[in-house]
Amino acid sequence: IALFSAGGDTSLEWAPKFAQAGTTVVDNSSAWRMDPTKKLVVPEINASVLTKDDKIIANPNCSTIQLVMALNPLHKKYKMKRVVVSTYQSVSGTGVKAVKQLENEIAGIEGEMAYPYPIGRNALPHCDVFLENGYTKEEMKLAREPQKIMDDRTFSVSATAVRIPTAGGHSESVNVEFENDFDLTEVR
The pLDDT tens digits of the residues spanning 30-65 come to 999 999 999 999 999 999 999 999 999 999 999 999
Percent of the chain at pLDDT > 90 equals 96
Same domain membership, residue 53 and residue 94? no
Same domain membership, residue 75 and residue 36? no
| Sign of the dihedral defined by the CA atoms of residues 32, 14, 129, 85, in that order | positive
Positions marked catalytic: 62, 170
CATH of the domain at 138: 3.30.360.10
Is the pLDDT reported for residue 92 higher than 90? yes
Same domain membership, residue 146 and residue 88? yes
CB-based burial label for 48 (10 Å; 0-12, 13-18, 19+): exposed
pLDDT digits (tens, 9 = 90+) for 160-184: 999 999 999 999 999 999 999 999 9
Q: How many helices (H) and strands (E) does the chain have?
A: 6, 7
What is residue 152's DSSP assignment? Answer: -
Same domain membership, residue 67 and residue 43? no
Same domain membership, residue 67 and residue 53? no
Summarize the confidence of residues 127-139 as an average pLDDT.
94
The verdict on residue 183 lying in a domain is no
Question: In what side-by-side order are the strands of the sheet with 25-27?
Answer: 2-4, 25-27, 56-58, 39-40
pLDDT digits (tens, 9 = 90+) for 110-121: 999 999 999 999
Q: Which of 58, 75, 97 marks a domain boundary?
A: 58
Q: Which domain holds residue 85?
A: 62-178
Please give the C-alpha separations between residue 168 and each of 74, 88, 118, in angstroms, as whole numbers: 28, 11, 17
Is the pLDDT reported for residue 136 higher than 90? yes
Q: Helix (H, G, I), strand (E, B), or coil: what is residue 139?
A: helix
Count CB atoms within 10 A of the CB of residue 38.
19
Contacts of 65 (CB under 8 A, 6+ apart): 42
Same domain membership, residue 114 and residue 156? yes
Residues 95, 119: contact at Cβ < 8 Å? no
Same domain membership, residue 70 and residue 49? no
Is the pLDDT reported for residue 102 higher than 90? yes
Same domain membership, residue 54 and residue 32? yes
Same domain membership, residue 71 and residue 35? no
- Please give the Cα distance from 100 to 107 (Å, whole number): 10
Same domain membership, residue 83 and residue 164? yes
Q: Helix (H, G, I), strand (E, B), or coil: what is residue 91?
A: helix
Residues 128, 29: contact at Cβ < 8 Å? no
The verdict on residue 185 lying in a domain is no
Average pLDDT, the chain: 96
Same domain membership, residue 67 and residue 45? no
Q: How confident is residue 126, by pLDDT bands cut at 50, 70 and 90?
A: confident
- Please give the Cα distance from 154 to 149 (Å, whole number): 13
The verdict on residue 187 lying in a domain is no
> What pLDDT does 73 receive?
97
Same domain membership, residue 54 and residue 69? no
